[in-house]
């Protein structure tokens, strides 16, 4: 995307300023809405992926699905379109970091923060699931957190409506192997309980500083999700929190929490009983502006 530069204007409305992140499907730039003067994030699809129908379809589906969702814990998609061959979507700009960068920079996190992340991501998933949308890629890099402790779920790039026919290449497994549910590892369709499993993996990683099912190869990692129990959590982790994390990590979907809404409510009740701050501030050594790509 060499033509993009500071000052480039998309659709005669959005002026891009600086690149924030880059991924397989596209780049995220900070920018300004010339009509409202609001600072936003603009996700722009790589031009070469537009020729690949599967990627293009996923990009359009992400814009459509995320645009349907309105919740404080979901990165809001404001607009989408195409300009001179560049497909783009416009999102709120979230100041802060990702859970992935937080764990990478500071290691295992405080249980209070893990409670908060579980509660807020479960709240986001509850809204998505109520709209018939399964995220399918809940992972630390898709969970944004601000200095004030607000958590937002991003990147619905491989999400699908629960009643839709999922378009994938033969033999392809969507999602990140480290956070893949056992049923997805078996090639079965993802369900809302698959998202809860991924959230359990994220919470376990936050509490230990390590990916619980990491192995040398993606296939070995997928098999670990299917066959291996999660590593024991540190003794400092409250029993109730450990029990909720392990419940999310049950191999059989029916043994996990009934729904994201139930998990959200259970976490909130536990936090209230413990007298904890429901939204503790994370320690962010180097604050930056990030959003999903």
Task: Enumerate the active-site residues.
Answer: 137
Of 93, 112, 73, 75, whose CA–CA distance to 283 is shortest? 112
Instruction: Give the tokens for residue 274.
Output: 């413990």
Q: What is the distance between the alpha carbons of residues 106 and 108, in angstroms, rounded to a whole number?
A: 7
Helices (H), the chain: 53-68, 99-106, 111-130, 182-185, 192-208, 218-227, 239-248, 260-274
Q: Are 209 and 108 in contact (CB under 8 A)?
A: yes
- The CA distances from residue 187 to 137, 182, 206, in Å, are 15, 9, 27
Q: What is the distance between the alpha carbons of residues 162 and 131, in angstroms, rounded to a whole number?
A: 9
């Amino acid at each position: 995307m060499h033509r993009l530069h500071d000052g480039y204007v998309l659709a005669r409305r959005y002026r891009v300023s600086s690149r924030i992140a880059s991924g397989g499907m596209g780049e995220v730039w900070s920018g300004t809405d010339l009509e409202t003067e609001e600072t936003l994030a603009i996700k722009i699809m790589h031009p070469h992926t537009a020729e690949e129908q599967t990627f293009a379809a996923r990009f359009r589906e992400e814009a459509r699905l995320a645009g349907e969702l309105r919740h404080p814990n979901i990165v809001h998609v404001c607009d989408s379109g195409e300009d001179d061959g560049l497909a783009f979507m416009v999102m709120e700009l979230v100041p802060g970091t990702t859970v992935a960068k937080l764990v990478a920079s500071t290691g295992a996190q405080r249980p209070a923060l893990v409670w908060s992340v579980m509660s807020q991501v479960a709240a986001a998933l509850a809204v998505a699931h109520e709209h018939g949308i399964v995220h399918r890629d809940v992972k630390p890099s898709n969970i944004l957190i601000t200095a004030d402790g607000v958590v937002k779920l991003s990147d619905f790039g491989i999400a699908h409506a629960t009643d839709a026919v999922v378009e994938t290449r033969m033999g392809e497994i969507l999602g990140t192997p480290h956070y893949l549910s056992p049923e997805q590892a078996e090639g079965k369709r993802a369900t809302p309980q698959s998202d809860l499993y991924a959230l359990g993996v994220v919470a376990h990683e936050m509490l230990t500083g390590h990916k619980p099912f990491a192995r040398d190869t993606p296939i070995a990692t997928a098999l670990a999700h299917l066959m291996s129990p999660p590593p024991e959590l540190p003794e400092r982790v409250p029993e109730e929190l450990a029990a909720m994390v392990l419940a999310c990590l049950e191999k059989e979907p029916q043994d996990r929490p009934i729904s994201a809404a139930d998990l959200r409510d259970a976490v909130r009740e536990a936090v209230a009983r413990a007298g904890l701050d429901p939204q503790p501030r994370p320690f962010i050594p180097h604050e930056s502006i990030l959003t999903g790509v």
